[in-house]
Amino acid sequence: MDEAIDEISESVRANMHILADRIRILRNEKGISAREMSLALGQNVNYINLIENGKRSPSFELFFDICDFFDITPEDFFKYDNYTLDNSNPGLENDNQNMFFSLTSEQKLRLSDFIKSLKS
Number of helices (H) and strands (E), helices first, in the chain? 8, 0
Of 38-42, 45-49, 95-99, least confident by mean pLDDT is 95-99
Residue 55 CB partners (closer than 8 Å, separation 6+): 16
| 26 phi and psi angles, rounded to 5 deg | -60, -45
CATH code (residue 20): 1.10.260.40
Identify the DSSP state of 105.
H
Q: Is pLDDT at 50 greater than 90 in this prediction?
A: yes
Mean pLDDT, residues 28-44 taken together: 94
- Alpha-carbon distance of 114 to 86, in angstroms, equals 28
- Domain residues for the domain of 57 are 2-119
- Alpha-carbon distance of 19 to 23, in angstroms, equals 6
Query: What's the confidence (pLDDT) of residue 87?
Result: 46
Nearest to 31 by CA among 70, 72, 61: 70
The count of domains in the chain is: 1
Query: What's the confidence (pLDDT) of residue 93?
Result: 54
pLDDT digits (tens, 9 = 90+) for 53-78: 888 888 889 999 999 999 998 888 87
Regarding pTM above 0.85, the answer is no
